[in-house]
Chains A and B, each alone.
Chain A
Amino acid sequence: MSRIPVIRVEDVLIASVLEDVTDSDAVALQSELGHQLEVRGAKGVLIDLSVVGIVDSFLGRVLAEVAAMSRLLGAPTVIAGIQPAVAVTLVELGVRLAGVRTALTSDAGMRMLREGRAGGRHVGRR
Chain B
Amino acid sequence: MKDPVEQTRAQMVDNMEDQRKTISELQTPVIQVWEGILALPIVGTVDSARAQQMTEALLDRITATGASVVLLDITAVPTVDTAFAKHLIETIAAARLLGTDVMVVGLTTHTALTLVHLGVDLEGVVTRTTMAKGLELAFDRLGFEVVRRTPLVDVAHP
**Do A and B come into direct contact in the complex, CB within 8 Å?**
yes
A67 at the interface (CB under 8 A from B): no
- Kindly state the interface size class of chain A when it binds its partner: 20 to 34
CB atoms of A104 and B66 under 8 A apart: yes
Report the separation of the CA atoms of residues A122 and B124 in the bound assembly, to the nearest whole angstrom.
10
Within 8 Å of chain B (Cβ to Cβ): is A88? yes
Binding site for A on B (CB under 8 A): 36, 52, 55-56, 59-60, 62-63, 66, 68, 90, 93-101, 124, 140-143
A92 within 8 A of partner (CB)? yes
Encode contact with B along A91-126: 1 for CB under 8 Å, 0 otherwise: 110000100011111001100000000000110111
- The one of A87, A92, A121, A124 in contact with B98, judged by C-beta atoms closer than 8 angstroms, is A87
B63 touches A84 (CB 8 A): yes
A125 in complex: contacting residue of B62, B96, B98, B142, CB < 8 Å:
B142
Q: Digitize A51-84: 1 where CB-to-B-CB distance is under 8 Å, 0 elsewhere.
A: 0000000000000000000000000000010101
Residue of B nearest to A97 (CB): B97
Q: Which residues of A contact B56 (CB under 8 A)?
A: 84, 88
Question: Closest CB of chain A to B46's CB: distance in Å?
Answer: 15
**Bitwise interface map of A from 24 to 41 toward B, beta carbon under 8 Å scored 1, else 0:** 000000000000000000
Chain B contact residues, majority secondary structure: helix
Is A4 in the interface zone, CB < 8 Å from B?
no
Closest B residue to A121 using CB positions: B124
Q: Which residues of B contact A91 (CB under 8 A)?
A: 90, 93-94, 97
Check A84 against B99 for contact (C-beta < 8 Å): no
Known: A84-B59, A125-B141. A102 touches B90 (CB 8 A): no
Least CB distance, B34 to chain A, in whole angstroms: 13
Tell me whether B142 and A80 are in contact (CB under 8 A): no
In the A-B complex, list the 6 residue pairs whose CB atoms are closest, starting with the nearest.
A84-B59, A87-B97, A103-B99, A102-B99, A87-B94, A125-B143
Alpha-carbon gap, A3 to B68, bound state (A) = 32
Within 8 Å CB of B98, what residues of A? 82, 84, 87, 102, 104
CB distance from B124 to the nearest CB of A (A): 7
For this complex, 16 residue pairs linking A to B, each with C-beta atoms less than 8 Å apart, are A84-B63, A84-B98, A88-B94, A90-B94, A90-B97, A91-B93, A91-B94, A102-B98, A102-B99, A104-B99, A108-B99, A121-B124, A122-B101, A125-B141, A125-B142, A125-B143
